[in-house]
Amino acid sequence: MQTIWTNASGCASRLPELPQPGLALTDPSPTSYAHPADEDFSHAETPSAALEEARAAAKTQDKPPSLWAYPATYLLVAINLVVFGVMFPYSPAMDMIRHHAGWGILTAQFDGNTLIRFGASDSGKVLSGEWWRLITSIFVHVTILHIAVNMWCLWNLGLFGEPLLGRQGLVAVYVLTGWAGMMLSLAWSVFTRQDALVAGASGAVFGVAGILIVLLSNRKLSLPWKELRSLRRSVIWFAALNLAIGIVPNLLPESSGQQLARLHIDTSMLPRVDNSAHLGGFVCGLALGFPLFPRMTSGKSSYRARQRVVFALAALLLCLFGYALAKFA
């Protein structure tokens, strides 16, 4: 059995370059995209009163929101951290810490039994009826480095995604795209006839990146188009870079031992990154974004209604795909 990470490892070097989202993106409703000058102050009794109301509206819009305005992002990060904290006493890193093992602590992996006990996706168990693992596995991580990188990426992308999707929308996208990533990983395991143990949030992280690429294409957002295009380009680079990084550990073992020795690379210490989970989450995120795009500025109730329909259909399709996969397997 292979233990495979889903790890969004390039995010830490890319996303800190992005500006703070609270200054640029607002909640997707008609008034939130409007400039204060476009607001209707016709109910004001005098021109001076209208001017004061316009100034007050401008101050409200220009004021950067607190970081605590992103509860869904922090909830998702907190769940992942709590799960890892409960698992940590079973980690070999505990003994390594006591013996001052150095950097090896960051890459010390849980054993397979511990990962399975806490909900990792084991293809054999999933196909035997434990389908819930496709969701629980997106909250399980293999090493300290694994969860640290994934949570850093989720936090950065969540601060951009939550204003565009809403609290419930971000949680739904995280779960659905993470589920889709694990489903594609399972399908690949069935196709290759290899039993795999998969865990990690980066399928969901790629899903958030995918939907952001679509939603940031909306020229009606409050940012100038040049800045929106720059934000979207950064997210695209994040996705491309991480897919490339995920391929490298799978290719290195095919190189000659002498070449790897000269590079001081121990292939036994390299994680097996599951690009199928990354790809599944990313494609699902793109697919969720396209039907939401036209409703982003049509009013909050209309946008939320479209979200519910799209997310429900996505869940149904994933269930049907799982049923077909079980029959094929």
Q: Check if the beta carbon of residue 181 is closer than 8 Å to that of residue 277.
A: yes
From the list 277, 157, 299, 291, the residue with the least C-alpha distance to 214 is: 291
Give tens-digit pLDDT for 40-84: 434 444 444 544 554 555 455 555 556 678 999 999 999 999 999
From the list 304, 293, 10, 307, the residue with the least C-alpha distance to 156 is: 10
Q: Is 194 helix (H, G, I), strand (E, B) or coil?
A: coil
Amino acid in the structure at residue 168: Q
Average pLDDT, the chain: 79
Residue 296, pLDDT score: 87
Higher pLDDT, 241 or 3: 241
261, pLDDT greater than 90: no
Structure tokens at 67: 């970081």
Please state, in angstroms and rounded to a whole number, the distance separating the CA atoms of residues 76 and 82. Answer: 10
Complete domains list, the chain, with CATH: 71-328 (1.20.1540.10)
Q: What is Dmax (Cα atoms) for the chain? A: 83
The DSSP secondary-structure symbol of 220 reads: T
185, pLDDT greater than 70: yes
135, pLDDT greater than 90: yes
Residue 30, pLDDT score: 36
pTM, rounded to two decimals? 0.78
